[in-house]
């Protein structure tokens, strides 16, 4: 299961009540956590960082929190930004497709952002 870390998946984020800049709708996301690695879960799922292709919207944001991922990395079809502050749990049923896997260097950039942001 550790091979899921760094996987790029197409996920369906809930649209029910997104607020402000919360991401919704189907989009790529990077797996950053697998709760089942610790213990079986009553409700299986993954911890993900959603991605956006709206690079211009996040152009002046701090790259430590919003790293840019180039096109064709991890199966991405366009340049994308990892929205690290929007890390979240999703139920396994929200996974629609496997797109690819990030290289170790890109995974580490995202992990570093999460460690610093969450004071781990």
**Residue 64 above 80 pLDDT?**
yes
Higher pLDDT, 50 or 26: 50
- 24-37 average pLDDT score: 86
**C-alpha distances in Å from residue 30, one per residue of 25, 68, 90, 115:** 15, 13, 12, 15
CB contact at 8 A, 30 and 86: no
- The DSSP code sequence of 30-69 is EEEE-GGGTS--SS-EEEEEEEES-GGGGTTS-TTTS-EE
> What whole-number distance in Å separates Cα of residue 94 and Cα of residue 26?
9
Confidence at 22, pLDDT banded by 50, 70, 90 = very low
The whole-model pTM stands at 0.86
- Give the burial string for 85-113 (b: 16+ CB within 10 Å, else e): ebbbebeeebbeeebebbeeebbebbbeb
> What does the pLDDT look like over 88-118, one tens digit per residue?
999 889 999 999 999 999 999 999 999 999 9
- CATH code: domain 2-117 is 2.30.30.110
Residue 13 confidence (pLDDT): 84
Q: Strand pairing partners for 45? A: 91
**Residue 19 above 70 pLDDT?**
no
**C-alpha distances in Å from residue 20, one per residue of 36, 53, 93:** 31, 17, 25
**Residue 77 above 80 pLDDT?**
yes
Domain boundaries, the chain: 2-117
> What whole-number distance in Å separates Cα of residue 101 and Cα of residue 75?
7
């Amino acid at each position: 299961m550790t091979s899921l870390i760094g996987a790029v998946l197409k996920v369906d984020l809930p649209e029910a009540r997104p607020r402000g800049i919360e991401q919704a709708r189907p989009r790529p996301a990077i797996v950053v956590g697998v709760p089942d690695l610790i213990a079986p879960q009553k409700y299986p799922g993954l911890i993900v960082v959603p991605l956006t292709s709206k690079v211009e919207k996040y152009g002046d944001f701090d790259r430590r929190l919003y790293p840019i991922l180039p096109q064709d990395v991890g199966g991405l079809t366009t340049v994308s930004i990892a929205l690290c502050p929007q890390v979240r749990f999703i139920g396994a049923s929200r996974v629609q497709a496997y797109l690819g896997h990030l290289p170790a260097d890109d995974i580490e950039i995202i992990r570093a952002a999460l460690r610093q942001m969450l004071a781990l």
